[in-house]
Amino acid sequence: MPITPTPAFVDLPTATQIFAADPTRIIAPIGAALAANVPYLSVLPQKTFEAQVSPVHVSVVQGRTVPGTSMTFPQFNSMGSVISIGSNAGNSKSGTSSYQYQAKIYQDFSDVIALNVAYNAFKESLASQLQAVQQYSTELINADTRAEIFARSGVKAVVQSTASFYSTISGGQQQIDTALPNTYSDSRLTFELLHHYARYLTQDLLAWKFGEGENAHLRFIGSADILEYLRNDLGSGQPGSYASFPIGPLAVSAISGSREAEKGVNGYLFKALYRGIDFGEDQRPLRYNWSGSAYVAVEPYAAVSGTTGTIEVVNPGWLVASHEVGFLFARNSFERQVPAKWVGEGRVKWAQQMFGGEVIFGAYPDMVQNFFRNYGVLAFQIGRAYRPIYPWFVLPILYKRCFENDGVVTCTGVSGA
């Protein structure tokens, strides 16, 4: 009697044996997809951490030097005078800040893909499921990066119409893991306020900009809605406005020598620079509801039953959530690290562990139930760590989502009706 596989999640030990033993695997590289669709990865430097180390790491960051003289009216000595330490010489001081961070891993597996269940459609079924899992892993990396930065940032802002500017901000220099204030936001983010936050990062917190010279800038990542509001704040279509700035051919800019454009050729392309800020879109921004005393995060997706199995849809509650978060980035806030390649030592060998979200197909190596190896699962794993460098160089901004005004009004129809 033939045995029909039951679609279900496979346990971790079994999956480990599957991928270690199966020499035939279909690997879907997603590096290009990540670079183009995950704006958060484009604002963080990328490095690796060595294998065979503790999962808990320490980031030691050099602090700014404390000057040995006034920085309002610096005191210099005459060239002919004798300068000795502790007398006429300055005595600057330096120090470091240390932050702990942890390497973590996530592994996931699809339902069973079976050749005999739908023989003629197997190729299309595999391709479609592969694409779905690849999209899922990409979005998961995006969500994970955003969540880690949000939780560990050293400063946070909550937009309030009646509050003074500094009272809308919590945290500051040398701080990390600043909690989201439980204060109600009654207003959306405006461009003037965003620009004030940008000046706060660079002038108050001494944050470093991306790029150099006239192209030096900060980067703001937000939803399509808030980007449109900011665009309208600047006077849509008026000469010199953000809306009138063309986004020229990227390759031409790269050839002409723009380093940021060169990065954009293979990465996420931020929208036109205006008044020192670049703009990037997050299609699934972080959203909250106000409970009356605290903010409650809202999941962007919900599971519903399909014709077969379970499928994902946008959560209706997420669509009407009351508040949203955008991120204003300076350079070198965090560094995203992935584990270095290591396949064992001596005779102890195992398959290369791919930690970047690459999707793998593996057939069950079961000699009884799957002798012909005609069913298996799609799987991926993500290994990463986020090293804090200057965690106060990124400012998550929580604001209220306001009713849209699409400009729809009554009019006289040409038919007279």
CA 134 to chain centre: 17
Asked if residue 380 lies in contact with residue 137, where contact means CB atoms within 8 angstroms, the answer is yes
Give the pLDDT of the chain (417 residues) as one tens digit per residue: 444 444 344 444 554 444 444 333 333 333 333 334 557 877 888 777 665 555 666 766 666 666 777 777 787 777 766 666 655 566 667 666 777 878 888 888 777 766 665 444 445 556 667 777 777 777 888 889 999 999 999 999 999 999 999 999 999 999 999 999 999 999 999 999 999 999 999 999 999 999 888 788 999 999 989 988 888 887 754 444 444 443 333 333 333 344 544 443 334 445 555 678 888 888 889 999 999 999 999 999 898 887 777 788 889 999 999 999 999 999 999 998 887 664 445 554 445 555 566 777 766 666 556 666 667 777 778 888 888 999 999 999 999 998 777 777 777 777 655
> Rounded to whole angstroms, how far apart are CA atoms 206 and 50?
31
Tokens 């999209």 sit at which residue? 135
Asked if residue 354 lies in contact with residue 109, where contact means CB atoms within 8 angstroms, the answer is no
Whole-number pLDDT of residue 298: 96
Tokens 């279900």 sit at which residue? 8
Provide the sign of the torsion angle of the four alpha carbons 83, 86, 88, 89, taken in this order.
Answer: positive
> Rounded to whole angstroms, how far apart are CA atoms 77 and 364?
79
> Rounded to whole angstroms, how far apart are CA atoms 257 and 240?
24
Structure tokens given for 271: 């929208």
Structure tokens given for 417: 């009706």
pTM equals 0.73
- Count the neighbouring beta carbons within 10 Å of the beta carbon of residue 108: 18
Q: How many CA atoms lie within 13 A of 119 on its CB side?
A: 1
Asked if residue 48 lies in contact with residue 340, where contact means CB atoms within 8 angstroms, the answer is yes
Q: Any residues with CB less than 8 A from the CB of 289 and at least 6 apart, and which?
A: 295, 296, 298, 317, 321, 322, 323
Q: Are strands 104-109 and 277-281 parallel, antiparallel or unpaired?
A: unpaired
Asked if residue 188 lies in contact with residue 12, where contact means CB atoms within 8 angstroms, the answer is no
Provide the sign of the torsion angle of the four alpha carbons 256, 258, 259, 260, taken in this order.
Answer: negative
> Rounded to whole angstroms, how far apart are CA atoms 221 and 41?
11
Locate the DSSP E strands across 174-297.
Answer: 218-222, 271-274, 277-281, 287-290, 295-297
Max intra-chain CA distance, the chain: 102
Find, among 135, 396, 138, the residue nearest to 285 by Cα. 396
> Rounded to whole angstroms, how far apart are CA atoms 248 and 227?
19
Three-state SS at 100: strand
Identity of the residue numbered 42:
S
Tokens 């290994």 sit at which residue? 383
> Rounded to whole angstroms, how far apart are CA atoms 31 and 268?
12
> Rounded to whole angstroms, how far apart are CA atoms 35 and 175?
30
Asked if residue 328 lies in contact with residue 206, where contact means CB atoms within 8 angstroms, the answer is no
- Count the neighbouring beta carbons within 10 Å of the beta carbon of residue 104: 13
Identity of the residue numbered 22:
D
Tokens 């900060």 sit at which residue? 218
